[in-house]
Structure 1
Amino acid sequence: MKLIICADDFAQSPEIDAAIVRLIENGRLTAASCMVNSPYWTSSAKLLTADIRDKAHIGLHLDFTLFGYRYPHAVLTVLSLLRCLPKAAIKNSIEHQLNQFEVALGTQPDYVDGHQHVHQLPQIREVLLAVLKRRYHHQLPWIRIAKPNDESGFKGRIIKMLGASALEREAKQLGFKYSSALLGVYNFSGDMHDYKTRLMDWAKQAKKSVGTSVLMCHPAMEGANGHINDPIYPARLNEFKVLNSDAFGTIFNEVSLVREP
Structure 2
Amino acid sequence: MKLIICADDFAQSPSIDAAIVRLIENNRLTAASCMVNSPHWASSAKLLTSDIRDKAHIGLHLDFTLFGYRYPHGILTLLSLLRCLPKASIQNSIEHQLNQFEVALGTQPDYVDGHQHVHQLPQIRQVLLAVLKQRYHHQLPWIRIAKPNDESGIKGRIIKMLGASALEREAKQLGFKCSNVLLGVYNFSGDVQDYKKRLIDWATQAKHSVGTSVLMCHPAVAAAEGYINDPIYPARVNEFSVLNSDAFATIFNDVKIVREP
For the superposition of Structure 1 and Structure 2, which TM-score range results when normalised by the shorter chain?
over 0.9
- The alpha-carbon deviation at position 223 of structure 1 amounts to 1.0
Establish whether residue 151 from structure 1 lines up as the match of residue 151 from structure 2: yes
Alignment partner, residue 8 of structure 2: 8
Whole-Å separation in 2 of the counterparts to 1:40 and 1:195: 28
Identity percentage of aligned residues: 87
Whole-Å separation in 2 of the counterparts to 1:80 and 1:221: 35
Whole-Å separation in 2 of the counterparts to 1:130 and 1:191: 42
Whole-Å separation in 2 of the counterparts to 1:151 and 1:222: 30
TM-score by length of 1: 1.00
Q: What residue identity is the alignment partner of 2:65?
A: T
Alignment partner, residue 226 of structure 2: 226
SS in 2 for 1:3: strand
CA displacement, residues 49-108 of structure 1 (integer Å, 9 cap, x when unaligned): 000000000000000000000000000000000000000000000000000000000000
Whole-Å separation in 1 of the counterparts to 2:258 and 2:237: 24
TM-score by length of 2: 1.00
Q: What residue identity is the alignment partner of 2:150?
A: D
Alignment partner, residue 181 of structure 1: 181
**Where does structure 1 differ by over 3 angstroms across 4 or more consecutive aligned residues?**
none
SS in 1 for 2:226: coil
Q: Mapping of 1:17-166 within 5 angstroms?
A: 17-166=17-166
Whole-Å separation in 1 of the counterparts to 2:34 and 2:146: 17
Whole-Å separation in 2 of the counterparts to 1:207 and 1:149: 13
Whole-Å separation in 2 of the counterparts to 1:248 and 1:225: 27
Whole-Å separation in 2 of the counterparts to 1:192 and 1:154: 23
CA displacement, residues 186-223 of structure 1 (integer Å, 9 cap, x when unaligned): 00000000000000000000000000000000000011
Q: What residue identity is the alignment partner of 1:108?
A: Q
Whole-Å separation in 1 of the counterparts to 2:224 and 2:81: 39
SS in 2 for 1:225: helix
Alignment partner, residue 240 of structure 1: 240
Whole-Å separation in 2 of the counterparts to 1:186 and 1:155: 8
Whole-Å separation in 1 of the counterparts to 2:214 and 2:50: 23
Q: How many residue pairs are counted as aligned between the two chains?
A: 261
CA displacement, residues 156-207 of structure 1 (integer Å, 9 cap, x when unaligned): 0000000000000000100000000000000000000000000000000000
Whole-Å separation in 1 of the counterparts to 2:208 and 2:224: 41
- The alpha-carbon deviation at position 224 of structure 1 amounts to 1.7
Q: What residue identity is the alignment partner of 2:70?
A: R
Whole-Å separation in 2 of the counterparts to 1:55 and 1:27: 7
Q: What residue identity is the alignment partner of 1:216?
A: M
- The answer for unaligned runs of 5 or more in structure 2 is none
Whole-Å separation in 2 of the counterparts to 1:43 and 1:27: 23
Alignment partner, residue 214 of structure 1: 214
Whole-Å separation in 1 of the counterparts to 2:172 and 2:6: 21
